[in-house]
Amino acid sequence: MNVPTFTVYTEDAVARFMRIRRQTLALCTGLSGEDLQVQSMPDASPGKWHLAHTTWFFEQFVLGHDLAYRSLNPEWYYLFNSYYESVGPMHARPQRGLLSRPTLDEIFDYRANIDEAVGELLLRGVTTELAARIELGLHHEQQHQELLLTDIKHMLSCNPLLPAYRNMSAPNQSKTSPLRFLPGREGPVDMGHEGHGFAYDNETPRHTTWLSSHALANRLVTNAEYLAFVRDGGYQEAGLWLSDGWAQVQREGWQRPLYWQEDLASEFTLAGVHPLDPHAPVCHISYFEADAFARWAGARLPTEAEWEDAAAQLPIHGNFQESLRFQPNAVPLGEGLLQMYGDVWEWTASPYVSYPGFKPLPGALGEYNGKFMNGQWVLRGGSCATPRDHIRASYRNFFPPHARWQFAGIRLGQDR
């Protein structure tokens, strides 16, 4: 007989669950039902939908695991399923903003009810499989915290009034380290998740890869440097761009990073329009822009293997969601690789594909990552909107090459 392993959560574990769930609500403080209703583009979701979908995730994959479970709102499954084809049909993504009902208050109640039910379950004890799903749900929750922030930022930026989400604490300094290239290792190295602690399926299996001779920049590309690229006609010079990137530049009329204002001296932030900090890392750029900048600079982007091999040596600290600044800090003074974690996601030269021997999670949760392995590029390191305990050296974020609304920037690499 196959007895499932069983876990009873400690009060601390329950408190962690509640803390992460409540953090999502905390990010909505100061936003109205109207703010949380708007979907500013098909790629973004309304804040209210994030609140509901992350809750649906626990209802669907944790509570719903018990066949005796009866949902109070079974018709919401359709509304708040994001892309899990194997659990049923779903509301079309570009129409998420049309759902004025259920109301925000109903979604708050929904969150409270599901949290209570999951909390009780935790205290009663759960199978190892269910414990893994709950853990996945919490990391999923944290991903949506970041998306909530980037989606709210985009939504506010579409308003000609350019309103603020919150005040921003003052920038912390105003001198940057000079740019230097630090050599990385060459030859066979292992990469991927080590096996203890949580990781998404796409970080596994740990496997050997081969690093060519290379170096990584000690720091991120700054606004001042990117401005030089803009002023040098970077957006007018086809030869700097990938073909698809150049087509995008032409079609969309790109002239500068997404949130830079026309004066090239200020940018839209979650605190409204602020002067552009020349020492801060350039942010909200696409892969196309990162790649074109690197070519202009006579360098290239690092591969994800190069990045991970270097980052794995470093402690994880930096400017994360917890700083409540929601804006990258200026490049600090210092030795070694600076700001590898936090501040801005770093575009890599690696398309998002599976590792050798990759196996998606079984069942519907196998749709979490694997089916997106086409047409996207890997980003590494987390950002000022990422929760501190969400990131790790092996973490693989991914977005299409034209995506600009994430907190994404550039670290240069080079062949040696």
CB distance 302 to 214 below 8 Å = yes
User: Degrees (nearest 5) of the Cα angle 372, 16, 154?
Assistant: 45
Instruction: Give the phi and the psi of residue 204 in degrees, each rounded to 5.
Output: -125, 165
Which of 48/328 has CB closer to its own copies? Answer: 48
Q: Is 34 in the site for its own copies (CB under 8 A)?
A: yes
From 6, 66, 88, 95, residue interacting with its own copies (rule: CB under 8 A): 95
> Is the torsion defined by CA of 371, 347, 285, 151 positive or negative?
positive
Q: Which stretch binds its own copies (CB under 8 A): 210-218, 222-230, 308-316, 380-388?
A: 210-218
From 245, 257, 318, 382, residue interacting with its own copies (rule: CB under 8 A): 245
Q: Is 99 in the site for its own copies (CB under 8 A)?
A: yes
User: Minimum distance between the CB of residue 286 and its own copies, rounded to whole angstroms?
Assistant: 11
Question: Does the N-terminal peptide bond of residue 360 adopt cis geometry, omega within 30 degrees of 0?
Answer: no
Q: Is 21 in the site for its own copies (CB under 8 A)?
A: no
Residue with tokens 């006609």: 233
From 271, 372, 388, 389, residue interacting with its own copies (rule: CB under 8 A): 372
Closest CA to 402 of 249, 191, 188: 249
User: Minimum distance between the CB of residue 197 and its own copies, rounded to whole angstroms?
Assistant: 24
Q: Six-digit token pair at 123?
A: 């205290």
Q: Is 351 in the site for its own copies (CB under 8 A)?
A: yes
User: Minimum distance between the CB of residue 321 and its own copies, rounded to whole angstroms?
Assistant: 22
Which of 200/372 has CB closer to its own copies? Answer: 372
DSSP element (H, E) containing 143? helix 128-157
CB distance 328 to 409 below 8 Å = yes
DSSP element (H, E) containing 413? strand 411-415
383 burial type by CB count under 10 A (0-12 exposed, 13-18 middle, 19+ buried): buried
Which of 198/372 has CB closer to its own copies? Answer: 372
User: Minimum distance between the CB of residue 280 and its own copies, rounded to whole angstroms?
Assistant: 26
Q: Is 69 in the site for its own copies (CB under 8 A)?
A: no
* Rounded alpha-carbon distances, angstroms, from residue 54 to 51, 148, 194, 238, 369: 6, 11, 27, 42, 16
Q: Which stretch binds its own copies (CB under 8 A): 53-61, 196-204, 254-262, 345-353?
A: 345-353
User: Minimum distance between the CB of residue 395 and its own copies, rounded to whole angstroms?
Assistant: 20
From 100, 167, 173, 174, residue interacting with its own copies (rule: CB under 8 A): 100
User: Minimum distance between the CB of residue 82 and its own copies, rounded to whole angstroms?
Assistant: 11
- Number of residues in the chain: 416
Please state whether beta strands 408-409 and 345-351 pair in parallel, antiparallel, or not at all (unpaired): parallel
Number of neighbouring beta carbons within 10 Å of residue 362? 9
Q: Is 86 in the site for its own copies (CB under 8 A)?
A: yes
Q: Six-digit token pair at 148?
A: 């909530």
Q: Is 207 in the site for its own copies (CB under 8 A)?
A: yes
Q: Is 371 in the site for its own copies (CB under 8 A)?
A: yes
From 91, 166, 274, 279, residue interacting with its own copies (rule: CB under 8 A): 91
DSSP element (H, E) containing 282? none
| Residues in CB range of 103: below 8 A, 6 or more apart | 33
User: Minimum distance between the CB of residue 263 and its own copies, rounded to whole angstroms?
Assistant: 18
CA distance 297 to 284: 19
From 132, 179, 242, 314, residue interacting with its own copies (rule: CB under 8 A): 242
User: Minimum distance between the CB of residue 350 and its own copies, rounded to whole angstroms?
Assistant: 8
Give the footprint of its own copies on residues 297-336 (CB under 8 A).
Answer: none
CB distance 239 to 291 below 8 Å = no
Chain contacts with its own copies (rule: CB under 8 A): 32-38, 40, 48, 75, 78-79, 83, 85-86, 91, 95, 97-104, 155-156, 158-161, 163, 188, 207-210, 212, 214, 238-239, 241-246, 287-288, 349-351, 353-354, 356-357, 366-367, 371-375, 401, 415
